[in-house]
Amino acid sequence: MSCAPGEPCEEGRTRRRALAVLGLMGVIFVALSTVSFLDSRGQAVPAAVSYAGFDAVQGKRVFQAYNCMGCHTIVGNGAYFGPDLTGIYGKVGPAWLEAFLPSAGAWPTSGAVALQLRNEAIATASGVHSIDDYLAKYPAAAERIERRGGHASSMPNLPLSHAEIGQLIAFLEYTSKMNTEGWPPTPRVNGLAYSRAAPMAAAASTLVPASTPAAAAPTAAAPETAGARGAQIALETGCTACHARDTGRLVGPGWGGLYGAEVALADGSKIRADDAYLTQSIVDPDARIVAGYAPHLMPSYAGMLDDEEVAALVAYIRSLGGEHP
């Protein structure tokens, strides 16, 4: 626009002011672009995070390959069917995750978590070596064990390898170390009637009858059989999270009808599932890998269970069907 003759003209000043603002915006854009190529300024980056020798970048690829965001939210993205995983590593710790991920169809028990702490790499990453110290350091793990331990979960058992589990935990450690500046916000669940959110006292009261008829109370406790003791040990140590009581396959083979059956091994040989084989499979599970199953998924119970407890577990498996020839 041109100025009319004889009238004050501000066109030049306005043009210079516009160009100055445009130049300032250009300088800011160039500066911010340059800063984006600098280091993370103290923010956690996946390339700098590792867990027990496993890489967080690879863990992110595992997370994506199994479409975990189809059910879970992480850093504000994903679905809401499962829990938010952004800070899960810092809440439950690596030993709980090591116990849960291989057999996610059931919640870990304290025995299953304690078993993971026998691995020096996991104990070092956890910062503690005993289960009591672990539950004190990670109260969210203690809450999950007390409320849900041994019960079925809504998550399927995924065919995760030993390496994929470690990589996935490394990725979850990275997301726990991120500074999300309060995002996502913590939902308020006060008054929620969903059973999983009920207070522990209320949950416990639903499991214990208020009163027991006097006529129903036994005069003396019946002696516990080896099979019954084995069933309790299987529950406490988390065996039932990986092994079904029938012939169904979970993470490991089903125990129904296993005793006395002929088992095909990964090396092409066959062996009878007798007392000796089952005992060895408990204390040294990688000694004979069953065909169709990956090694290193089942931890060794040597040193955690004594000979009597191992024998009770074998007796329990025997009670589930099958006969020694």
Query: Domain range spanning residue 293?
Result: 226-319
The yes-or-no verdict on residue 299 having pLDDT over 80 is yes
In a domain, residue 260? The reply is yes
Q: Kindly state whether residues 170 and 237 are assigned to the same domain.
A: no
The model's confidence at residue 208, banded by pLDDT at 50, 70 and 90, is: very low
Question: With contact defined as beta carbons under 8 Å apart, do 113 and 141 qualify?
Answer: yes
**Average pLDDT over the chain, rounded to an integer:** 84
pLDDT in tens, 1-24: 566 666 777 777 888 899 999 999
63 and 155 within one domain = yes
Nearest to 266 by CA among 243, 238, 288, 250: 288
- Is residue 41 assigned to a domain? no
Provide the domain count of the chain.
2
Residue 275 within any structural domain of the chain: yes
pTM across the whole model: 0.69
For residue 187, tell me if it sits in a domain. no
Q: Kindly indicate the confidence band of residue 205, based on its pLDDT and cuts at 50, 70 and 90.
A: very low
Residue 149 has pLDDT above 60, yes or no: yes
Between CA 138 and CA 240, with CA 121 as vertex, the angle to 5 degrees is 65
**Does residue 290 fall inside a structural domain?**
yes
**Long-range CB contacts (within 8 A, 24+) of 58-63:** 58/167, 58/170, 58/171, 59/166, 59/167, 59/168, 59/169, 59/170, 59/171, 59/172, 59/174, 60/171, 60/174, 61/167, 62/160, 62/164, 62/167, 62/168, 62/171, 63/168, 63/171
Residues 170 and 236 in one domain: no
28 domain-assigned:
no
User: Quick one: average pLDDT of 71-88?
Assistant: 91
Judge whether 116 lies within some domain.
Answer: yes
Domain with residue 141: its CATH number is 1.10.760
